[in-house]
Amino acid sequence: MADQAEAPAGERPLVGDQGSAGSRTTVSAGASAADTDLTRLIASRIRDIPDYPQPGVVFKDITPLLADGEAFNSVINALATLHGPVDKVAGIEARGFILAAPVASRLGAGFIPIRKKGKLPGATYAQDYQLEYGIATIEVLTDAFDPADRVLVIDDVLATGGTARATADLVHRAGAEVAGIAVLLELSFLNGRAKLADLPVSALLTI
Ligand code: AMP
């Protein structure tokens, strides 16, 4: 993955379903028929990579989904409907960019990159957050948002919630409002929502 190549080992907040490597992804109950079709489609296009990038981690590889034009389009449409009208869509580097930019375009909203430390030109707000081993930092440009912008935050996977929490804090510090956090896949056993209790959080597929 590109973002793995960009970051030194240990700097990514990768966490996985340790102990269930190879287990099948399940579809959450209670969804409508159309949602169930979508969740099944997503589940069938996400590949488990055991022990990547380190032993004990089950990496959720979304590249098969991205490579399927119909599935990719359905996911973008679904993400775009989750949190109402927004002014900006913030994508979290790197896989969040792939989903957030087309969602922003679909909504007629602006796209704002949330980047790893040192990548953005100009003045930034920086936010530290906890990884399994150590601390990481993400940044946003100080002039990224207009006052009171409603912002949709998008990433591929919600795991422990540290990345999404740090992003929401950056949006607030930059003077905007978080309309919601939307992810493709939530690893519910890692309880990321506990860190996001004050915010609307949506996942297209929860396992
Ligand atoms: P967290 O901060 O723990 O919620 O981790 C979320 C971030 O780490 C997202 O940007 C994901 O891309 C990445 N991530 C965490 N765990 C995994 C995993 N098991 N598979 C793929 N990406 C992951």
**Which tens digits make up the pLDDT trace of 130-179?**
986 789 999 999 999 999 999 999 999 999 999 999 999 999 999 999 99
**For atom 17 of ligand 1, which residue has the closest CA?**
14
**pLDDT for the residue numbered 14:** 59
The DSSP bridge pattern shows strands 150-158 and 177-186 to be parallel
**For atom 3 of ligand 1, which residue has the closest CA?**
160
- Annotated catalytic residue within 12, 95, 150, 165: 95
- Distance, CA of 166 to CA of 173 (rounded, Å): 10
**63-77: average pLDDT:** 98
C-beta of residue 7 within 8 angstroms of C-beta of residue 116:
yes
DSSP characters over 84-116: ---SEEEEETTHHHHHHHHHHHHHT-EEEEEEE
Residue 34 pLDDT > 50: yes
C-beta of residue 154 within 8 angstroms of C-beta of residue 29:
no
Residue 181 pLDDT > 60: yes
Q: How far apart are the CA of 207 and the centre of ligand 1, in A?
A: 14
- Low-confidence winner among 6-20, 77-91, 104-118 (lowest mean pLDDT): 6-20
Helix (H, G, I), strand (E, B) or coil at 145: coil
Residue ranges and CATH numbers for the domains of the chain are 15-206 (3.40.50.2020)
Nearest-atom number in ligand 1 for the CA of 162 is 2
- Annotated catalytic residue within 40, 106, 132, 173: 132
Exposed, middle or buried, 118 (CB in 10 Å: 0-12/13-18/19+)? exposed
Give this prediction's pTM. Answer: 0.88
CA atoms within 13 A on the CB side of 195: 19
- Residue 11 falls in the annotated catalytic set: no
- Residue 150 falls in the annotated catalytic set: no
Percent of the chain with pLDDT over 90: 78
